[in-house]
């Protein structure tokens, strides 16, 4: 089934949730369904359209704190783009590269990890970008926060979400 975009009461995107969670929240009166998919969810006694976008009934004050260092969060920070050649990558294609290699004392930190395609990662090898004559598109940094929404869902964002995610989410 399809994922569901959860909006705050102010229509600000909060996160992506499962359709099961969205349906439970709907029946508990915690969310309103804003957009629906074309397909149905069926039970023995009920058939409803699958929710695509739901909005919280009450405002939720989300704290904005630094996210944990993880593969998914690094890919989201770098917009699924190789930081050496700027190639758009899927989650499966993307690799993580230590800017200063571990063999040279580099640590696994936000400031030393970037998203890279396999070709660039192999080309750079155990060298620094300067040693490999390669340039980073942007300096890696520790983000203040990352919305879960930055993480691509198999490379495609459902069209029903475009209105709520803004221009950056829409296909070119």
Residues 98 and 109: their CA atoms lie apart, in Å, by 9
Confidence of residue 151 (pLDDT cuts 50, 70, 90): very low
Tokens of 94: 């993307």
Q: Decide if 9 contacts 164 (C-beta within 8 A).
A: no
Q: What angle do CA 27, 30, 36 make, to 5 degrees?
A: 65
Q: What is the pTM of this model?
A: 0.58
CA dihedral (72, 73, 77, 80) in degrees, to 10, reads 0
* pLDDT digit string, tens, across residues 57-94: 999 876 666 778 888 889 888 989 999 999 999 889 99
């Amino acid at each position: 089934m399809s994922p569901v975009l959860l909006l705050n009461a102010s229509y600000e995107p909060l996160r992506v949730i499962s359709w099961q969670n969205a349906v439970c929240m709907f029946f508990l009166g915690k969310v309103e369904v804003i957009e629906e998919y074309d397909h149905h969810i069926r039970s023995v006694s009920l058939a409803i359209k699958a929710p695509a976008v739901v909005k919280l009934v009450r405002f939720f004050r989300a704290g904005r704190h630094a996210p944990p260092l993880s593969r998914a969060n690094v890919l989201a920070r770098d917009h699924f783009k190789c930081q050496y050649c700027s190639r758009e990558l899927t989650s499966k294609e993307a690799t993580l590269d230590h800017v200063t290699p571990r063999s040279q004392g580099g640590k696994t930190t936000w400031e030393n990890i970037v998203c890279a395609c396999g070709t660039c990662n192999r080309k750079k090898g155990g060298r620094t970008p300067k040693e490999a004559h390669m340039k980073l598109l942007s300096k890696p940094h520790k983000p203040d926060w990352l919305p879960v929404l930055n993480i691509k869902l198999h490379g495609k964002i459902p069209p029903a979400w475009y209105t709520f995610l803004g221009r950056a989410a829409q296909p070119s």
